[in-house]
Amino acid sequence: MAGSIFLTVAALVVIVVFTFNDSFGLLDWPIDPSKADAYGSFIGGLGGSLFSLVGIFLIYEALMKQQELDETQRIENQIFELTSRLRDNVSAMSYHSSIIDMGTVEGEKCFIVFDKEYQYIRDTITELASAHNIDIDIKHISCFIHIYGSGNEIGDRLQEVIKSSSSNIDNLDFNSFFDSLREKIASVDDGFFSCHDKRLNQYIRHLGAIIKLAKHKSIKSPADTKRFINMVRSQLTLGELSYLQKMIEVLPDELEHGEGSLKQRWQRAMDEYKFLRPLEEAINVN
């Protein structure tokens, strides 16, 4: 656009300068036909060439703009497709909680039950920590059990998580606390994630791909990026946002994935686009 404007201005300046040039005698009256003919030939040759270049620049800029619009449309179509798969994964879920009396639920309601289970786990850990007089990161441990369960397959890692989150726990206190915890939450051994690991893995991959597409370098307009993010965020329920929040909480920091750990990348994306804002607003209202 800048090149076209420059050439247009240059052509107009040439016309104006030579129009008022005495050598062409255009200000004399009557006008000399031979000088006017020379003036027309000169302006037609130089000014016409400049305007032709302007036309070429405009055609090029129009093609580049169309290519940019086509790329944005392609990305938007991909986002729509991935969002549709995201919803299909949720619709295919079904879950029966052993600690929340809501029967078998399907689709988006699974995340509602899932969130109620988290609150049960957190309340249980808070009660046990108080009873054993130990200081632990209740939120982190609750999220860990909530996502991965507490069964034998995850037991060793859960013990490491509990020990690393406490500043005043010895082996005797730990064994007593851990046995009580396993007894209290034995009914959620498998964890919600274990019941739907493939679907939830796909869910997270699709959501990650959508965020990556929204930040694609070919999208020049920040408004388009914001529009894509808002479009996807509007499709997620508060239960799903709550799940995302807890999933990010327990992602391992040491798992490198491009620029920083996977946990850091997810946290940056959530912060940059205020992905969890609806969840935060709902919490503040309540």
Average pLDDT taken over every residue of the chain:
75
Inform me whether the pLDDT recorded for 75 exceeds 80.
yes
pLDDT tens-digit readout, 249-271: 887 776 555 566 778 888 888 88
Which carries the bigger pLDDT value, residue 164 or residue 12? Answer: 164
pLDDT tens-digit readout, 100-155: 788 888 888 888 888 888 888 889 889 888 888 888 888 888 888 877 777 666 67
DSSP calls for the chain? -HHHHHHHHHHHHHHHHHHT-GGGTTTSSSPPHHHHHHHHHHHHHHHHHHHHHHHHHHHHHHHHHHHHHHHHHHHHHHHHHHHHHHHHHHHT-EEE-SSS---EEETTHHHHHHHHHHHHHHHHHHHHHHHTT----HHHHHHHHHHH--SHHHHHHHHHHHHHT-SS--HHHHHHHHHHHHHHTGGGSSHHHHHTHHHHHHHHHHHHHHHHHHT-TT---HHHHHHHHHHHHTTS-HHHHHHHHHHHHTS-TT-B-SSSBHHHHHHHHHHHTTTTHHHHHHHHH-
Which carries the bigger pLDDT value, residue 222 or residue 173? Answer: 222
Q: Which residues contact 142 (CB under 8 A, 6 or more apart)?
A: 118, 121, 122, 125
Which carries the bigger pLDDT value, residue 58 or residue 87? Answer: 87
CA distance 85 to 73: 18
pLDDT tens-digit readout, 197-237: 677 778 888 888 888 888 777 777 788 888 888 888 888 88
Mean local confidence (pLDDT), 276-284: 70
What's the confidence (pLDDT) of residue 180? 83
Q: What percent of the chain has pLDDT over 90?
A: 0
Inform me whether the pLDDT recorded for 7 exceeds 80.
no
What's the confidence (pLDDT) of residue 244? 86
Give the pLDDT band (50/70/90) at residue 1.
low
Mean local confidence (pLDDT), 59-88: 83
What's the confidence (pLDDT) of residue 189? 52
pLDDT tens-digit readout, 16-70: 665 555 555 455 556 556 665 665 666 666 666 666 767 777 777 778 777 877 8
